[in-house]
Amino acid sequence: MKKVNFITFIISAVLITGCESDTQQTNQTEVQTSKPQEVEVAQVTKSESEKANALFEQIFMDGVMRSPIFQSFLGIKKDNDKWDDLSEENVLAEHEIDIANLVKVNSIDVEQLDEQTKVSLRLQKESLKNSIDDFKWRHHNYPLHQMRGVHSLIPSLLINQHRIQDVKDAEAYISRLNAIPQVFVQVVDGLNIREEKGIAAPKFVYPYVLSDSQNIITGAPFDEGDDSTLLADFRSKIITLDIEQSKKDELLNSAIIALQTNVKMGYENLIKEVKRIETKADDRDGVWKLPEGKDFFDNALARTTTTALTATDIHKIGLAEVARIHDEMRHILKAVKFEGDLPSFFEFMRVDKQFFYDETEEGKAKYLSEATALIDNMKSRLDELFIVKPKADLTVKAVEAFREKSAGKAFYQRPSMDGSRPGIYYANLYRMSDMPTYQMEALAYHEGIPGHHMQLAIAQELGDLPKFRKFGGYTAYTEGWGLYSEQVPKEIGLYADPYSDFGRLSMELWRACRLVVDTGIHVMEWTREQGIDYYVTNTPNPKPDAVKMVERHIVMPSQATAYKIGMLKILELRERAKTQLAEKYDIREFHNVVLKNGPLPLNVLEEYVDEYIASKL
């Protein structure tokens, strides 16, 4: 598990709360009545487990309280007038904290712990050790790019996480606006360190960063026209406050001054620096170009997939899966009586107008409405597949205008820790021609229910797990579940429209191609154009999708391999349970085993499934 901080959190994932503790209490009662000598052992075990979990909680919450951004995502307002310290000095300080925390964790006697706490200890050690080992790679990344970066995180957090419920919240918002220049000074310092090491994003990245940054300082009060993104957000939030109009006017004026001065200056200075670095950038795309690039990518694959699979292994798996899915698609061609081969069908699905809504506000509203209806219908079927459902609600929203041009196709944001903010499934409706209706169903299941919302919302509602397990994440587990969740609804009769089922296969195919292209770019030195051509040739997705995906591979090496690797492992484990349990197999119980322990490395998930199978035999 990666150490939980705001970056991994943003990336950014049962179920019966108290079930395990009830079982432990029952066993302890039996011990007290029938085996007096074991009472002391049980009490010691509980005591040591409590101490261990208290340490895990302290490590997690200390980290949270050092991160105002993470606090905002969790709904904590203590430091909602500040931003995180992104300086190199603080990175070094965090590294020392990791080392000290590992010493504390290593002092725990594993033999004195209950079974769940033993797993927590194992994961906490691994998390800290990985973070310490990865310190050498801390500059092998691109802090600003089209997928994420502080330049887009700042407005996104202010709009979506910074609630204004009173004057103090409004003043904290203004303080954050005024603190933006210092944040960007730290970001620029980090860029300069990487530049000295020969680490810089490829040339195509910079126009995206410049465009997104310029969008934030466009509109009133920066120039004529409608309110800018942040002014519109602040104005809409203070309108609802139950205070005197004079106080609202005072707050609004303070926000306008902050925007005209510090926000404008901060973004202009960042834009200037990004333009300077852009002039030195080249078109080499893979991390093979970086210092020790091969070793870095091997490490990234190990962290992402939580397996020992090599780049060559993953490339071969991808090729095999692409061929298999192509064969399944040919069956759908026959079902819809299409006359032509698979490439012809791909082209038909790319351009036929029946599969796209209009590029209008009405078309976008229709998409959101139908996506919501799909999720609502899936909610009504959950009892067929799950024992426990998330308490937090889920809403569907379009990606905000300021970031829709560069953001991904769809993504999920988990609810706040206190339940005051629901989970959000974001659909990117910037260009409706990139959002075919035949993929709508699979997207809704992946990002919403039974996908990320089912998993991540439930994880943070687990009462017995330490917070680092609820809020940490393993990409292969989280995204493997998301992709697995696209297939499960078909097994209960959904995807009735064959074109929609083709959409499901097309999205699975997309993830299979990722295995091929990600390793192709970062190990086999494929160019951006080679990666784009592979997607266009082998999938029905339009070329803009291929461009975005390849550019994502380039700036987030290894990340996209997690989906298919994780899904394949979950399917492998499910088949093992079905085969070995036969008539005792219950998919609801299997899903419970997968979800009830929060995010896990795939090898630990496998151990849990094997234990479940053994307990049923």
Interval 356-368: pLDDT, tens: 999 999 999 999 9
174 in the same domain as 278: yes
133, part of any domain: yes
Q: Are 226 and 260 in a shared domain?
A: yes
CA distance 2 to 548: 26
Least confident of 43-52, 66-75, 250-259, 478-487: 43-52
Across 8-17, 263-272, 280-289, 566-575, least confident range: 8-17
Beta strands 410-413 and 394-398 are unpaired
Burial of 109 (0-12, 13-18, 19+ CB in 10 A): exposed
Number of domains composing the chain: 2
Same domain, 171 and 117: no
Q: The whole model's pTM is what?
A: 0.86
In terms of domains, do 87 and 126 share one? Answer: yes
Residue 42 sits in a domain of what CATH number? 1.20.58
**Token duo for residue 458:** 């439930």
90 and 115 inside one domain: yes
HSE-CB of 108 using CA atoms within 13 angstroms: 27
Average pLDDT, the chain: 91
> Which residue among 248, 264, 289 closes a domain?
289
278 in a structural domain: yes
Tokens of 538: 């082998």
For residue 248, what pLDDT is reported? 98
138 CB-side CA count, 13 A:
17
With respect to residue 199, please indicate whether it lies within any of the assigned structural domains: yes
Could you tell me if 77 and 178 lie in one domain?
no
Q: Which of 289, 317, 348 is the last residue of a domain?
A: 289
pLDDT at 407: 76
Q: Are residues 102 and 173 in the same domain?
A: no
* Torsion, CA 268, CA 10, CA 466, CA 126, rounded to 10: -90
User: Which pLDDT score is estimated for 26?
Assistant: 26
Is residue 18 in a domain? yes
Specify the pLDDT at position 472.
Answer: 82
Quick check: 127 and 2 in contact, CB under 8 A? yes
Tokens of 242: 């139950």
SS3 content of the chain, % helix, strand, coil (to 5): 70, 5, 30
DSSP-based three-state secondary structure for 451: coil
537 falls within a domain: no
> Do 127 and 154 lie in a common domain?
no
Q: Residue 1: its pLDDT value, please?
A: 54
| 96 and 205, same domain (yes or no) | no
Q: What is the DSSP letter of 423?
A: E
Tokens read off for 49: 């487990």
Q: Is the pLDDT of residue 16 over 80?
A: no
Q: Please check whether residue 188 lies inside any domain of the structure.
A: yes
Would 599 be classed as within a structural domain? no
Residues 72 and 51 in one domain: yes
| Greatest extent of the chain over all pairs of C-alpha atoms, in Å | 81
Look at residues 97, 115, 137 and tell me which one is the last residue of a structural domain: 137
Residue 505, pLDDT score: 98
228: tokens are 């800018």
Whole domain around residue 185: which residue ranges?
150-289
Instruction: Judge whether 420 lies within some domain.
Output: no
Please give the pLDDT value at position 45.
52
CB crowding 12-27: b at 16 or more within 10 Å, else e: bbbbebebbeeebeee
Say yes or no: 224 and 260 in one domain. yes
The answer to whether residues 67 and 112 belong to one domain is yes
Q: For the segment 154-200, what is each residue's pLDDT rounded down to a tens digit? A: 999 999 899 999 999 999 999 999 999 999 999 999 999 999 999 99
